[in-house]
Amino acid sequence: MIIGVILLVALIPFIIVHFYKNAFKRLENFPPGPPSLPLYGAYWIVLLKEIENLAVAFSKLGKEYKTKIVGLYLGAIPSIVINDPNLIKEMLNREEFDGRNDIIIARLRSYWKKLGIFFTDGYYWHVQRRFSLRYLRDSGFGRRDETLESVVANEIKDMLDMRISGPKYRAEKELVKGELVYLPFYLAVPFINGMLHVFARTTLARPDYHVLWDMARFTLLFQRSTNDLGGALSLTPWLKDVMPNYSGYTGLKTGNQYLLDFFRKLIDDVMATHDESHDRHFLDVYIRKMKEEVRQKQRTTFSVDQLVLTCTDYMFPAASAVQSVLTMLIEHILMRPHIQDKIHEEIDRIIGRDRLPNLDDRKNLPYTEACIREAMRYDTLVPLGVPHRAMADTNIGGYDIPENTLVAANFTNLHMDKDVWGDPENFRPERYIVDGKLQLSCDKSLPFGAGRRLCAGETFARQTMFQVFAAFMQAFHVSTADGKPITKPSKRIQGIITTIPEFWIRVTSRT
């Protein structure tokens, strides 16, 4: 016993020296950054800097180490976070940074395979992304489409009617109570049904809206279940077995499963009536292609599982992100009543109240559009983006980056950079307007990323957010539920995306 204690004491200096050497061991010409600690590497230090917002933590580390690129080890994984706006844009537009890391979150949401669009790379990603975008465009995804615009407009009418005429169905009564509506879910249906039309030329009718609201709730559960794409769960996947709830695994799995089950049933129903001689919509086109390649015994990336994940990937932002953006925008309006006055004046002057705003009005409502853009800048939706992977040894910003390095862009730093924006701490839609017109050259934000990994749903998101927000503000005056003014924004929830806690607002008809 005594000998064992003596040996342990004798080993302590060697253990300390070993950990010390590993803590400061770095690849040659790798970007500067914090030392590595046991198990999670520098992740411990990142959490200590700012546990509730990792993008802010990396901004602090960049200043501390006087570097535009922070280099660190997350566990054993070499990683860099780019804080500089110009280097962020360079990275996003370089093909060697188009890879994705094989993390547990990607696997658990895709039947433990590498499927979908978000988390795949190389040949598989290239084929599936190109095919899906080529044929989704036929239903208006990625371009202006009058039929899709009309579908969204009809859903908006139902959304407005829920408040103006009162709720008709049980699920509606949970979101509308007199003059009060519950955000963000009240805003969700036009986005989700719009995407269902894109996939299958179908929408769920108003009695079935509860299915769509459940989709929004479960999607939001997934988005909020863990910070920054998994953190500890990605570095130590075994946490899913020992602490599934605390690690976020349970919420991730439960939230994602609802979408998988929904699209599996939808696709099964389509396959049961599929006719290869007649394509009704995108799902038909995909199924026909899948069957052709199976018959020809080609090397194929097409499968039912992949189709389920493709639909799930494209639906996730529509079911959670875009209405969260509008909800944060509405909170900013509640804090700054003069913004609401300007929006109302612009809409009344340009459109009036006899018809809904349409996409032709977008260029004539610069202030309304500028408010949406400012909301996406001020509250960065994906603060560190979806991390990339270096697909080969390369360099950026004068530093050497080895193959398989995790690469993240600090979009929060870009959106709050004083050199870019002047007064980024102020919510000021006027920054995008010159001589009464919207100037896109003034918008240096990248809410949808850039390069080949640019969010494929940018056009759909921007168009539909305008339709929903402009119609909502045309119809209503908003105020706080209790009549008390808001002096500061609510605390943001930093998960995979930035969201805002649900809340009630008072919505008074302007008609």
Cite the annotated binding site by residue number: 455
Task: Yes or no: say if 215 and 209 are a contact pair by the CB < 8 Å rule.
Answer: no
Q: Which of these, 358, 351, 381, 334, lies nearest to 498 by C-alpha position?
A: 381
* DSSP states along 233-299: HHH-TTHHHH-TTTTTHHHHHHHHHHHHHHHHHHHHHHHHT--TT---SHHHHHHHHHHHHHHTT--
Both structure tokens of 359: 């996409």
- Report CA torsion sign: 105, 197, 308, 253: positive
Give backbone dihedrals phi and psi of 399, rounded to 5 degrees, phi first: -110, 150
Q: Which of these, 46, 48, 51, 120, lies nearest to 81 by C-alpha position?
A: 46
Give binding residues for heme as ranges.
455
Residues 6+ apart with CB under 8 A from 277: none
Beta bridge partners of 476: 509
What is the distance between the alpha carbons of residues 273 and 433, in angstroms, rounded to a whole number?
51
Coil, helix or strand at residue 483: coil
* DSSP states along 349-362: HHT-SSS---GGGG
